[in-house]
Amino acid sequence: MYFITGGVGFLACVILMILIIMRAVKDKSCVTLLIAFFLAAALFLGSGFLYSRTDPHIGGTEFLSTLLRDKTVPPNLTGEWWAPDASNKDAYHGIYISGNHIEIYWISDGGATQTLYWEGTYDAPTDGKEPYTWESYSDPSHASGLLAAAGSTKEFTYENGVISYSASALGMTTTIEAKKQSWGFSPESEDTGTAALSSTVPVADADAEAELTGLIEADAIVKYDGYTIDFDDSAVTVSVWKESITRTAALIQENNGSAEDADWVSLKAVTENSVAYICDCIRSSALSGLDLVFQVLDDADHSRALLTFTNTDVTYDILAV
């Protein structure tokens, strides 16, 4: 939107300037052209100003609603918010805001598994000024476990229809951006005091495979570009890929490096943390008899393995062969 209006304004400025010069040479009046020139210049400069002050991804009717909205009216943030995972269509963050309360869940396995990530306070905006930021306070005992947020405070920001916040799990931090969209949350039951996803299976009642999948996905979501998880009678096979890992391996090979290269050792250490975490999850689950096969694949060719672990042992390293 900004590039279109700015481009039109700039082109009009050039054309009008040429016409003004031509009419001036012929000693003709340039008043109308000068007025048009200044209007075109205002369009060009105004587009640049708006680009610097507003999210450049907004366009069309969204741009107009953002520009013309009444800034004295506070936005209504109550309800359900949804933040998809770009690498896995079956996983997302589900948010529910009601009254002065906000809850955030890790949702995986297409909605069959949910894990409470954050439960804290919500302060509604008092006007329409953006960005709007509030500090949420939580009792850490409300959300516990490997996937729960650490600490008792978390900062949230609302701007241009998006709630954003940082989320950390297993030592990795990413920025979550959620838009207002229903994801199937049912408000707390007065009888049980627990939250539930409508038409889905709560964690407590999910089978062991679905629960384990959710725990593995929580690690893969923040560390890799994509992943798959497969079960058979003897093992859980987790395959992951990331463009930066493939690129690093290729560069080391081009320079005749080895598995002892510092960058490769660092990448392997991150992978080993994932492997150790998943092994712990398997051992503490009802599927404790399964082995783990963990593969790091070429992001462009998933038939090509870069690293393979069986349980916690490295059984293949492309730079060690």
**pLDDT, tens digit, 9 for 90 and up, residues 153-212:** 999 999 988 999 998 765 677 889 999 988 877 654 333 333 444 434 333 334 678 888
What is the C-alpha separation between 8 and 131, in angstroms, rounded? 29
CB atoms within 10 A of CB 89: 9
CATH 2.40.128 assigned to domain 79-205? The reply is yes
For 79, the token pair is 């309800």
**Are the beta carbons of 171 and 150 closer than 8 angstroms?**
no
pLDDT of residue 204: 37
Write the DSSP string, 280-295: HHHHTSTTTT-EEEEE
What is the C-alpha separation between 276 and 269, in angstroms, rounded? 10
**pLDDT, tens digit, 9 for 90 and up, residues 27-45:** 666 666 666 666 666 655 6
Name the burial class of residue 152, with classes exposed (0-12), middle (13-18) and buried (19+) by CB atoms within 10 angstroms of its CB: exposed
**pLDDT, tens digit, 9 for 90 and up, residues 209-236:** 888 888 888 878 878 888 898 888 889 9
CB atoms within 10 A of CB 285: 16
φ/ψ of 283, rounded to 5, equals: -65, -30
- Helix (H) or strand (E) holding 43, with range, is helix 31-53
**pLDDT, tens digit, 9 for 90 and up, residues 68-119:** 566 677 888 988 999 887 656 677 889 999 888 899 988 877 777 778 888 8
pLDDT of residue 179: 92
Mean pLDDT, rounded, for 278-299: 89
What is the C-alpha separation between 146 and 135, in angstroms, rounded? 23
CA angle 69, 70, 75 (to 5 degrees): 85
Domain ranges for the chain, please list them. 2-68, 79-205, 224-317
pLDDT of residue 150: 76
What is the C-alpha separation between 160 and 142, in angstroms, rounded? 30
pTM comes to 0.45
Count of all residues that appear for the chain in the document: 321
**Are the beta carbons of 305 and 318 closer than 8 angstroms?**
yes
For residue 193, give the DSSP letter.
Answer: -
What is the C-alpha separation between 3 and 133, in angstroms, rounded? 29
**Structure-token match 């109550």, residue found:** 78
What is the C-alpha separation between 4 and 26, in angstroms, rounded? 33
**Structure-token match 């100003």, residue found:** 49
- Residue 102's DSSP bridge partners are 97, 120
- Residue 173's DSSP bridge partners are 168
Amino acid at 85: D
For 240, the token pair is 């992951």
User: Strand 226-231 to strand 196-197: parallel, antiparallel, or no bridges (unpaired)?
Assistant: unpaired
For 188, the token pair is 């707390």
How far, in Å, are 32, 213, 254, 280 from residue 228 at the CA level?
65, 10, 29, 19
